[in-house]
């Protein structure tokens, strides 16, 4: 895979353009939503929403600061969902994206249980239900196009076009040059011990790390984990 995402959430302005572009390209219906206290909308991912921007508030220099994080499939290097699927309906393409072949799926939903980030979603209302998740716009990638969310992002949050190695270098540079701007961790480089992504790395706001999905136990023990990684664990 030549190109991957570098998602720098400190650049995000919360316009949700990526959510809209994702829905447009995948022709997913809109959700019926209402304003929630957090302003995250839709509150959670579902079968019609592959990505959403998580709104949250934190305090910075005594002022209220509104920050964002992005939810969606990480396209893990060794995806739990793929290893769980009994019929290889979910599979990891050689280009990197984890995609879904609906015609094979039996609907056992083991992938939903297996994913540590609760990403695969199920069409509960359908009589012929499918699993739904971000495909990294695999068909666009094959056509040498940019994924819809990256194409539409106006603030430069979603950077697409470099290899994962270059993006990792760039992420490390940003972390070291801007102390305090980020939570000191590259999401997707190593996460949950083994499931690193080869398509997406996220840089997040300092206040966010305990709010992210998945890896509940390990987050509580975050600093011990960090030291373990530093030792090459």
Partner 1 sequence: MTPAQDKIKLFTPVTLGLLIVIIAGALAVYKKLTLGEITTNLQDDFPWGLWIGFNVLGGVAMAAGGFVIASAVYLLNMKKYKPIARPAILTAFIGYLLAAFTIFLDIGHPMRIWHPMVMWQIRSVMFIVAIHVILYTTVLGLESSPMLLEKLKLGGLKKIIEKLMVPIALFGTLLSVLHQSSLGAVYLIVPDKLHSLWYSQTLPFSFLVSAVMMGLCMVSFVSILSSKFFNHSANMGIFSGLARGSIITIAFYLILKIYLLLTGPGAAAAFTGSMESMMYLLEMSVGVVIPLILLLLPGIRNSIGGIFLVDILVIGGVVINRMNIAVFGLLKHAGERGVRYFPTGNEIMVTLFLIAFGAVLFKLAVKYLNVLSYEEA
Sequence-distant (≥ 6) Cβ neighbours of residue 37 within 8 angstroms: none
- Given the rule CB under 8 A, which of 3-11, 43-51, 143-151, 154-162 is the region that contacts partner 1? 43-51
Site for partner 1 in 84-103 (CB under 8 A): 84-88
Judged on CB neighbours under 10 Å (0-12, 13-18, 19+), 200 is buried
Q: Is 118 in the site for partner 1 (CB under 8 A)?
A: yes
The only residue of 15, 20, 108, 175 in contact with partner 1, by rule CB under 8 A: 108
Q: Is 112 in the site for partner 1 (CB under 8 A)?
A: yes
- Between CA 142 and CA 137 the distance in angstroms is 9
Q: Return the structure tokens found at 214.
A: 């998945």
Compute how many residues bind partner 1; rule: CB under 8 A: 39
Rounded least distance, CB 43 to partner 1, Å: 8
Comparing CB distances to partner 1, the nearer of 126 and 155 is 126
Report the 10 Å Cβ neighbour count for 13.
13
Instruction: State the residues that interact with partner 1 by CB under 8 A.
Output: 43-47, 80, 83-88, 104-110, 112-114, 116, 118, 121-122, 124-129, 192, 213-218
């Amino acid at each position: 895979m030549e190109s991957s995402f570098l998602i720098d959430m400190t650049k995000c302005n919360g316009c949700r353009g990526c959510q809209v572009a994702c829905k447009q390209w995948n022709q997913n219906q809109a959700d019926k939503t209402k304003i929630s206290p957090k302003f995250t909308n839709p509150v959670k991912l579902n079968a019609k929403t592959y990505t959403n921007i998580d709104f949250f508030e934190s305090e910075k220099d005594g002022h209220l600061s509104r920050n964002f994080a992005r939810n969606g499939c990480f396209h893990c290097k060794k995806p739990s969902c793929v290893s769980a699927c009994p019929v290889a309906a979910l599979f990891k393409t050689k280009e990197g994206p984890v995609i879904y072949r609906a015609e094979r799926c039996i609907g056992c939903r083991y992938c939903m249980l297996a994913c540590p980030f609760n990403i695969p979603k199920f069409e509960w209302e359908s009589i012929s239900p499918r699993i739904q998740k971000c495909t990294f716009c695999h068909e666009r990638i094959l056509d040498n196009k940019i994924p819809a969310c990256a194409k539409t992002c106006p603030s430069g949050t979603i950077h697409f076009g470099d290899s994962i190695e270059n993006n990792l270098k760039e992420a490390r540079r940003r972390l070291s040059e801007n102390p305090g701007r980020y939570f000191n961790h590259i999401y997707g480089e190593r996460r949950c011990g083994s499931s690193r992504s080869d398509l997406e790395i996220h840089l997040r706001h300092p206040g966010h790390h305990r709010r992210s999905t998945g890896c509940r136990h390990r987050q509580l023990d975050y600093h011990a984990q960090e030291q373990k990684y530093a030792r090459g664990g």
